[in-house]
C-alpha cells in the first residue's frame, strides 16, 4: 500500500506520516529530509546552491539511507539535527528546485517505495511517503492521497514550539511563507493539491485526531 501525503511547510506531514506508518507497521519516507540532506552536503562542500549542475552532481553522489525509525543517514551517519538547521532552511528550496537534483531523489524515493511494497506475505506492506510532490509526481497511483493544510500562523506556532523557541513564531512564519512561495511556483514539480486527494485542515485537530482520520481512511480502503 502506498500512502502519499503532501502539504506546505510545517503542516504536520512528518508527524502524521510517521505515526501512521508506525501504526500500520509499514515504512515511513520523509522526502523533505532527503532534499535537506543534499542541501547540507552542498553547503558543506561550499557549492553554490544556485548552480544547478554542481548541485545535481552532489545529489547524484550522495549516499542517503534511513534508520529503522525513519531518520535520515548521510553516508551512514545521522543527518539530524544538522539537516534542520537555519542554514539549510534558508537554501533548501533553491536546491530542491533543480531538476537534476529532483531526478536523483525521485529515483531513490521510487526504489524505496517499491522495496517497501514488495513481498508475498499476507502482512500489510508499503510506505507512507510525505513531501511536496508525492501525490502529483512520485506516486501518482498511490492508494491514498492526502493534502494536509494548516493556517500560516498555526504552522509557525507549531514549528517554533517544536524548535524550542516559542517566542520566535513570527520569524518562523516568514521563513515558511518564503519557502511555500518558492515551492509552489517552481517549474519542476511544484506543490499542488491534486484532484482526488483528501484535504485535511489541521488547525483544530490534535496529532492524535489527524492520525485517527487517516486510519479511518485506510480502513475504508482495506474494506
Tell me how far apart the alpha carbons of residues 45 and 200 are, in angstroms, rounded to a whole number: 39
* CB 76 to ligand CDP: min, Å: 21
Q: How far does CA 80 lie from the centroid of its chain?
A: 15
* CB 205 to ligand CDP: min, Å: 17
C-alpha cell at 157: 506556532
C-alpha cell at 143: 492508494
Nearer to ligand CDP, 27 or 31 (CB): 31
* CB 41 to ligand CDP: min, Å: 14
Nearer to ligand CDP, 87 or 124 (CB): 87
Maximum Cα interatomic distance, the chain, rounded to a whole number of Å: 52
Q: Which residues bind ligand CDP (CB under 6 A)?
A: 9-10, 14, 31-33, 35-36, 92-93, 96, 131-133, 179, 183
Nearer to ligand CDP, 133 or 217 (CB): 133
* CB 118 to ligand CDP: min, Å: 22
Nearer to ligand CDP, 153 or 222 (CB): 153
Q: Are strands 27-30 and 72-74 parallel, antiparallel or unpaired?
A: unpaired
| DSSP letter for each residue of 97-116 | T-HHHHHHHHHHHHHHHHHH
Amino acid at each position: 500500500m502506498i500512502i502519499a501525503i503532501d502539504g506546505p511547510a510545517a503542516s504536520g506531514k512528518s508527524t502524521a506520516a510517521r505515526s501512521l506508518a508506525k501504526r500500520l507497521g509499514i515504512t515511513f519516507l520523509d522526502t523533505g529530509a532527503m532534499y535537506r540532506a543534499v542541501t547540507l552536503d552542498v553547503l558543506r562542500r561550499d557549492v553554490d546552491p544556485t548552480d544547478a549542475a554542481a548541485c545535481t552532481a552532489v545529489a547524484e553522489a550522495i549516499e542517503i539511507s534511513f534508520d529503522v525509525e525513519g531518520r535520515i543517514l548521510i553516508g551512514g551517519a545521522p543527518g539530524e539535527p544538522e539537516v534542520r538547521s537555519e542554514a539549510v532552511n534558508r537554501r533548501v528550496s533553491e536546491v530542491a528546485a533543480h531538476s537534476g537534483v529532483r531526478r536523483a531523489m525521485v529515483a531513490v524515493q521510487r526504489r524505496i517505495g517499491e522495496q517497501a511494497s514488495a513481498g508475498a506475505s499476507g502482512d500489510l506492506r508499503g510506505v507512507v511517503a510525505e513531501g511536496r510532490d508525492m501525490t502529483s509526481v512520485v506516486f501518482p497511483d498511490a492508494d491514498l492521497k492526502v493534502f494536509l493544510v494548516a493556517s500560516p500562523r498555526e504552522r509557525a506556532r507549531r514549528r517554533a514550539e517544536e524548535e524550542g523557541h516559542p517566542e520566535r513564531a513570527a520569524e518562523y512564519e516568514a521563513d515558511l511563507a518564503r519557502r511555500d512561495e518558492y515551492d509552489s511556483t517552481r517549474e519542476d514539480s511544484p506543490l499542488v493539491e491534486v484532484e482526488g486527494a483528501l484535504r485535511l485542515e489541521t488547525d483544530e485537530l490534535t496529532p492524535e485526531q489527524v492520525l485517527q482520520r487517516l486510519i479511518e481512511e485506510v480502513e475504508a480502503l482495506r474494506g
